[in-house]
Amino acid sequence: LALAMLDLDHFKAVNDQHGHGVGDAMLAHVTEIIRNQLREPDLLARVGGEEFALLLPDTGEREAVTLLERVRRKVQETPLPHADGPIPMTVSAGVAESRPDMEPGRWMHVADAALYMAKRCGRNRTVRATQVPEETLTGGSPPPHCVILSEPGSED
């Protein structure tokens, strides 16, 4: 079982530049894109603002990255139609595989830490929780560099 946290990149700028109505349309648009990439048992939930959670049954961390990269590419390839021209969108994602020894709150914290690592390291990418240094997971400062992360589009 894997848990993924996704966040629209630069969403505040869209609201600021185009208004909250366009922001709402973007949320609906990206939700539809994500839903179209999911399998039957996968669950999608909006957890606040422009952040979403995916619960991926029968899925390990590596398999989840494959799915998330497909979602990420599709979002990037499908800008929001707008009268002034298409508005580009990207998402960042973090994913963690469940473990019997991990409490649900910790599991969500670890997936969220991977998401914020993706944000800090350039956005528009997916990060596995196993790529996040332990000191970052336990509340330490972020790592000084992001060399452990794969570039967008890489599934390693």
Question: Which residues are known to be catalytic?
Answer: 50
3-class DSSP state of 156: coil
**What is the C-alpha to C-alpha distance for residues 38 and 49, in angstroms, rounded to an integer?**
21
90's CB contacts (< 8 A; 6+ apart) are 8, 9, 10, 72, 75, 76, 123, 124
Residue type, 129: A
Which parts of the chain are beta strand (E)?
2-8, 43-48, 51-56, 91-97, 126-128
**What is the C-alpha to C-alpha distance for residues 97 and 81, in angstroms, rounded to an integer?**
35
